Amino acid sequence: FGRPWTQGEGHMSDPSTTPPWLAESQPPSPAVTAAAAAAANAYVSHPQTQQPGWGPPPPANGSAGGAVPANVEWGLRGIHVLVAFMLCLSAALALIGLSDASTFFVSFYVFFFGLLICMFEVKLKAIIGIIQNNCGFILYSPGRVAFQVMVGMLTLGLGGTWAIVGAAFSWLGAAADLYVAVMYENCSCSSGESPSSMGYAPAASEPYAPPSPAAFPDPAQPKDSQDITEQPWLSNSGIDV
């Protein structure tokens, strides 16, 4: 007896008996396509996609951006550079009068943190990417405030007059950042929202691609239905596909 699926033109003689897995795939219905487009639009307009991580590349200036007046902006940058200089100077003077190993390590960290603040404002192309990837807290006003307060406390551990001066300048920088954040950026650390980064916006790791309509299967189509050409085991079965 001949097999019904090998008779005629190589297909089953009765189309009504075609199993779901052998049925031809159909394109998604207009309703499914519209649902996919709506989901993509909702994703793009979601508040998460409006965060700094989805923003444009950072501007040319270190802490430039937002609604901060130009004179306040440059004054804040000058304070940051001065803080970095005083921290490095305090660490260097402490190393000259080195008394024990703990002073050496504290001086090293204070000097490194001073360089970090300086590089944040100078914004060299060769190092800004490293800062964004490893020290992202410094890109945000609350992060800079907490960081400078911590560095000031660490600088006091060096002992001496210059250590006190360096700590005072570090706290001055923290106060300046806090003032600008409150007065010009409407920054609220307790609101749970992402604070302003004053112009710095880490680039997204990869561009967003809206979901394709194929990601939303047609409910009217059988679940196991797919194109016969996607069945590799049919190539040697004798069925004309």
Q: In this model, does residue 16 exceed pLDDT 50?
A: yes
Task: Give the list of residues 6+ apart from residue 70 with CB closer than 8 angstroms, or none.
Answer: none
Q: What is the pLDDT of residue 224?
A: 53
What pLDDT does residue 119 have? 87
81: in domain: yes
- Whether the pTM exceeds 0.75: the reply is no
Domain assignment present for residue 32? The answer is no
pLDDT score of 60: 42
Burial 142-158 (b: 16+ CB within 10 A, else e): bbbbbbbbebbebbbbb
Give the chain's domain count.
Answer: 1
Query: Residue 206 has what pLDDT?
Result: 44
Residue 101 covered by a domain: yes
Nearest to 25 by CA among 235, 233, 222, 215: 222
Residues 143, 208, 28, 229, Cα dihedral to 10°: -120
Confidence of residue 190 (pLDDT cuts 50, 70, 90): very low
Show Cβ contacts of residue 169 under 8 Å, excluding neighbours closer than 6 positions: 82, 83, 86, 87
Within a domain: 149 = yes
- Compute the distance between CA of residue 168 and CA of residue 153 in angstroms, rounded to an integer: 9
Asked if the structure places residue 97 within a domain, the reply is yes
Chain CA centroid to CA 117, Å: 21
The region of weakest confidence among 12-16, 97-101, 152-156 is 12-16
**The domain containing residue 153 runs over which residues?**
70-184
Tokens linked to 19: 């199993």
Q: What is the mean pLDDT of residues 47-66?
A: 48
Please indicate, yes or no, if residue 151 is contained in any of the structural domains. Answer: yes
